[in-house]
Structure 1
Amino acid sequence: MKKAILFLLVWCGAILAFGQDKYWVFFKDKEFKADVSYISREAAINRQRLQLNVTQYSDAPVNEAYVRQLQSATGAQIINYSKWLNAVTTRLTDQQACDVALMHGVVSVRRVQNRVTLAAAKSSPESFALGQINAWALEEAGLSGRGVNVGVIDGNYYCADIDPALQHVFANKQIVAARDFAESKSPGDLFKPLRNDNEMHGSAVLKLIAGYDKNKDERFGAAPSVRFYLARTEVSDKEFRGEEDYWISALEWMDSVGVRLVNSSLGYTSGFDNPEENHTPEQMDGTASPISSVANIATRDKGMVLVIAAGNEGENLDWQVVAAPADAKGVITVGTTDVFGLKKRWSSIGPSALTYVKPNVSVYSSTGTSYSAPVITGIVACMLEKNPSLTSHQVLNILQASSHLAGYGNNYLGYGVPDARKVLVLLSDSNAVVAPVSEEVKQAGNVFSLRVPESESLSAVVFHKGDQFFVRDQEYIDIIKESLSVTKPYRARRSTVVLKNRTIEIIWE
């Protein structure tokens, strides 16, 4: 006990150097009744189908006795509740934070250090990505996401109701519910006319999941029949930690009403209006931030499938890595390729310290990873339509196994671009072999040469790696007169050579 008190006193002394700020307050326990239903019937059915516990301790609300104690002692207003984390956020002075840390029922008090940014872009995305993933195979199989609930956590959805490619969504009442967690607005306000470009971002995401222009007979998303649950958590004219609170509340709400599949193109990094709220790249370890912890709970305990944009920090030398919650192990993190199959320069990479690969998969976007993620969400919706009993882990494994770098994933593109044709095969037979033909070659010299017939490929993409997963450089190589030559860069240990229908892993000796 003395050691614990001493630690708290040292901790309090450390934070007294800071001014008033926002804090997470984590509680010890809460009232839990096994005979009480904390979730909807549809959410319970989802869990039964996935053989998950229907009644879970984390679903019980935060202990109100502890909250009242906190408010009584400090006069603080509660900003947000998280039942999964058994915690609240509030603003406290430094001295109040010290006092709260010593309160009965309080496990810890954590000063907020975070910022949210959109992994986004302003221009309209191309339909190239649908061709890249062979989305036509899903349509031929009669899959369109019918019967699947998709949650979208984003900014506003302005002008979605007048977009020609989303007219069927509104006409067929495919938007089941919409909630604004950022402001007190009615659901209809989320679709009102444009105020600024950022507030159209959610509309573009919807279009890339379910868009279909009947007049032009043009498909923009792989899942035009899904039902949507929409949440607004982004405030367009501010950058502050409260947006992470909104995100957490939105995810918990979606689980409570039975939504399993969620798309989010928001990433928490650095650059808040208050710099003291910023994350650091070292914190992108999958667990450090509350939002990543919640994402892990969602995929591990609630049976949810989260598709998250990797972020657009690849060219930012002070950051580069994926944002929270894209660092969470259980989520499907999506990066971006260019038309040749190289990583887009701005697409965020996976931290080298992780024991797992991030991003998980990638697909083309002209402007941002937030326009790659919904393409993958459309595939996943079709997968869940065909087999609603798929677990989040199975969905992730099938996507990775169907991708063009299966077997040789890296922290630039993950396991590469999924192929809907292979996804369908794996849904029918999980043991099927669908990966591209691959081989490992040990190369003693600094140059690897290979004859490649014109009928096989006219070019190659090469990822030079410092170890099995971490890429140091990438290049596009034209194959001249059926001859491919790869030169070992300085400090490269491996190079992955990607041809049209096969992959070669060079191990430099």
Structure 2
Amino acid sequence: MKKVMLLILLFTSALGFAQEDAWIYFKDKPDADYYLANPTEMLSQKALDRRARQNILLDEKDIPIHADYLNVIKESTGVTVMSKSKWLNAIHVRGERDNIELLKANSFVDHIDYADKSLNTSRISIQNQVVSANKNLETQIDFNYGNSANQIQMLNGQLLHQSDYTGKGITIAVLDAGFPGVNTTQPFQRMRDNGQIKGGYDFVARSEDYYQGGTHGTLVLSTMAGYVEGQLTGTAPDAFYYLFRTEDATSENPVEESYWVEAAEAADSLGVDIINTSLGYFVYDNGRYSHTYEQMDGQTAFITRGADIAVSRGIFCVVSAGNSANTINPHIPAPADAPGVLTVGAVDLNEMYVSFSSIGPTADNRLKPDVMAKGYQATLATPEGTIGVASGTSFSSPITAGLVACLWQALPDKTNTELRELIKESADRYSEPNNQYGYGIPDFSLAMQKAMGLTDGNFIVYPNPANDIVHLLFPKNIQRTTVTIFNELGQRVSQQNVTLANPSFDVSQLATGIYSYSMEGTSQKGRIIKQ
């Protein structure tokens, strides 16, 4: 009996000395009035401008964590501060449970939420099990050469590119596992030469060197920003990019959710327009920390709550649906369950569902994924600069995010939520969605046409005034037209055939002045000013 009691005592003591992860939530933000009166102390002007365009007011979530609170926790014995979140007014700590419990004595601490749900008295307890998370599922490259035409044309992105909507002026933050090779290899030379990499940070290593870590982020970025003539064109080749490492490719721990939220807050403060994240969290190396399906309800996981706050700040969040459909956890992970994000699943080159793409619904019975894009044998660039293919919803998400940037460039007055609805409404299963395909495969050209009023058969003519080349945006179901130009006397001075594949005509030979035009096959007429 004594031996049994001794074993129980030793086991209990061992539990007391185990390292735990937990979030410490604070009660208030005493500096709120100061920051709300001085917004540039917490947000860049670019971020404030994004808020103003979408009529989003500042609130207490924008206020930084009170420095004195943070310092008290940092100076506490046996506790390490791993990350912090102003949006959730919380910090992520690691330490022995007894030391973490002592933090409750501080009057400014509201509550403590352990990553091990069984330690939270009002939370659901899950089975104590240790499992190994697969960190390489989405990066299986077979080095088959090809080009990226299919993954762009599937979403009708080439029509946006032909109209010179290539992401110019839009800023995308990529939150991923690392970006080795982006600073050296040829597929990223164009974006380096054009100054499109605006900066970044490694939240895992707390380092300014974000060109390290896992290779996953490099692959993801290449589908948006990579360029090799005749082999690879990213979906947003002219956008600006911030590169944030939030994922530790060597392990799976809830602190990565906290790194993600911290990075999203940094992206917000820098004025980022779009966040792409090809990461998802469900199962952790320590099974006591794993989520359950019931927690995929859009409001429980730390990262999910952070993602939805990012959307409320005016950021467009694109999230991969996950690759677990063939596992015991077939449903989408966090933050793909967040209500405000655009969750993207995977199809193949023939637009057929790929069996690994995680499915919905969410635990609270919302439709997910939202849309689908190519995620099987997607064309991309490796950290070594090789053009190859890889499979996973990790790639359907950035392929889509890049075209979101192009669409937002075309429709700068739209809010992030208006843009998301346009994209879903353009999808081919919008009238009959399901939890495999969501609303289906979006048509970004159709979304643009609908927003611009082109679906009623009208062309958009630009630029006008013009110096030499005039472009046309074609309405739906029209493939070609003939543009006839008349001078002020009504005399025909030019007649040119224009097709969807080559949507422009030349006015360089015309003298400066005002001309009228007509479009064959439509009733559309108008004026062109030749400069």
Residue 263 of structure 1 aligns to a residue in which SS?
strand
User: Residue 334 of structure 2 aligns with which residue?
Assistant: 324
Rounded to whole Å, the distance in 1 between the matches of 2:333 and 2:311 is: 18
Rounded to whole Å, the distance in 2 between the matches of 1:426 and 1:17 is: 61
Contact 1:213 1:219 in 2 (8 A): yes
**Which letter maps to 1:303?**
G
**Which letter maps to 2:320?**
A
1:102 positional shift: 5.0
**Which letter maps to 1:50?**
Q
- Mapping of 1:247-396 within 5 angstroms? 247-272=260-285, 274-300=286-312, 302-316=313-327, 318-351=328-361, 353-366=363-376, 367-396=391-420
Larger Rg: 2
1:76 positional shift: 2.0
Name which of 131, 140, 145 aligns with 1:122.
140
User: Residue 451 of structure 1 aligns with which residue?
Assistant: none
Rounded to whole Å, the distance in 1 between the matches of 2:225 and 2:69 is: 44
Is the counterpart of residue 99 in structure 1 residue 120 in structure 2? no
Query: Structure 1 stretch 414-423 or stretch 93-102: which is displaced more?
Result: 93-102
Contact 1:23 1:111 in 2 (8 A): yes
Is the counterpart of residue 403 in structure 1 residue 415 in structure 2? no
**Which letter maps to 1:398?**
L
Residue 382 of structure 1 aligns to a residue in which SS?
helix
Contact 1:116 1:266 in 2 (8 A): no
**Which letter maps to 1:257?**
L
- Mapping of 1:135-150 within 5 angstroms? 135-150=157-172
User: Residue 440 of structure 1 aligns with which residue?
Assistant: none
Normalised to the residue count of structure 2, the TM-score between the two structures is 0.72
Residue 373 of structure 2 aligns to a residue in which SS?
strand
1:261 positional shift: 0.5
Identify if the C-alpha distance between structure 1 residues 372 and 87 changes in structure 2 by more than 3 Å, giving closer, same or farther.
same
Name which of 111, 115, 118 aligns with 1:112.
115
Residue deviations 1:387-417, cap 9 Å, x none? 2232221121111111110121111111011
Rounded to whole Å, the distance in 2 between the matches of 1:286 and 1:43 is: 25
Is the counterpart of residue 209 in structure 1 residue 224 in structure 2? yes
User: Residue 154 of structure 1 aligns with which residue?
Assistant: 176
**Which letter maps to 2:394?**
S
Query: Structure 1 stretch 171-180 or stretch 89-98: which is displaced more?
Result: 89-98
Rounded to whole Å, the distance in 1 between the matches of 2:172 and 2:62 is: 21
Contact 1:332 1:361 in 2 (8 A): yes
Name which of 208, 211, 219 aligns with 1:190.
211
**Which letter maps to 1:106?**
V
Query: Structure 1 stretch 366-375 or stretch 66-75: which is displaced more?
Result: 66-75
Residue deviations 1:75-125, cap 9 Å, x none? 522111101100001124333344334541222110015989577223269
**Which letter maps to 1:47?**
R
Rounded to whole Å, the distance in 2 between the matches of 1:71 and 1:232 is: 23
**Which letter maps to 1:390?**
K
Rounded to whole Å, the distance in 1 between the matches of 2:196 and 2:116 is: 37
User: Residue 19 of structure 2 aligns with which residue?
Assistant: 20
Rounded to whole Å, the distance in 1 between the matches of 2:402 and 2:318 is: 10
Is the counterpart of residue 164 in structure 1 residue 186 in structure 2? yes
Residue 211 of structure 2 aligns to a residue in which SS?
helix
1:363 positional shift: 0.9
Contact 1:119 1:310 in 2 (8 A): no
Residue 80 of structure 1 aligns to a residue in which SS?
strand
Contact 1:119 1:309 in 2 (8 A): no
Contact 1:267 1:311 in 2 (8 A): yes
User: Residue 38 of structure 2 aligns with which residue?
Assistant: 36
Rounded to whole Å, the distance in 2 between the matches of 1:392 and 1:430 is: 21
**Which letter maps to 1:22?**
D
Rounded to whole Å, the distance in 2 between the matches of 1:295 and 1:279 is: 17
Percent sequence identity over aligned pairs? 31
Identify if the C-alpha distance between structure 1 residues 175 and 71 changes in structure 2 by more than 3 Å, giving closer, same or farther.
closer
1:185 positional shift: 3.4
Contact 1:25 1:106 in 2 (8 A): yes
Q: 5+ unaligned residues in a row in structure 1: which ranges?
A: 1-12, 192-197, 434-509
Name which of 79, 86, 92 aligns with 1:89.
92
Rounded to whole Å, the distance in 1 between the matches of 2:454 and 2:292 is: 39
Contact 1:25 1:108 in 2 (8 A): yes
Residue deviations 1:231-285, cap 9 Å, x none? 011222222222222111111101001102011101111032x222211222111
Residue 207 of structure 2 aligns to a residue in which SS?
coil
Identify if the C-alpha distance between structure 1 residues 103 and 143 changes in structure 2 by more than 3 Å, giving closer, same or farther.
same
Q: 5+ unaligned residues in a row in structure 2: which ranges?
A: 1-11, 118-132, 377-390, 458-531
**Which letter maps to 1:171?**
D
User: Residue 504 of structure 2 aligns with which residue?
Assistant: none
**Which letter maps to 1:210?**
A
Rounded to whole Å, the distance in 1 between the matches of 2:136 and 2:50 is: 30
Name which of 253, 268, 273 aligns with 1:240.
253
Contact 2:79 2:94 in 1 (8 A): yes
Aligned-residue Cα RMSD (Å) equals 2.5
User: Residue 506 of structure 2 aligns with which residue?
Assistant: none
Rounded to whole Å, the distance in 2 between the matches of 1:259 and 1:411 is: 30
Normalised to the residue count of structure 1, the TM-score between the two structures is 0.75
1:331 positional shift: 0.4
User: Residue 50 of structure 1 aligns with which residue?
Assistant: 54
Rounded to whole Å, the distance in 1 between the matches of 2:456 and 2:407 is: 16
Contact 1:208 1:375 in 2 (8 A): yes
Contact 1:30 1:63 in 2 (8 A): yes
Contact 1:118 1:266 in 2 (8 A): no
Name which of 240, 247, 253 aligns with 1:227.
240
Identify if the C-alpha distance between structure 1 residues 113 and 292 changes in structure 2 by more than 3 Å, giving closer, same or farther.
farther
Contact 1:117 1:266 in 2 (8 A): no
Query: Structure 1 stretch 329-338 or stretch 91-100: which is displaced more?
Result: 91-100
1:165 positional shift: 2.9
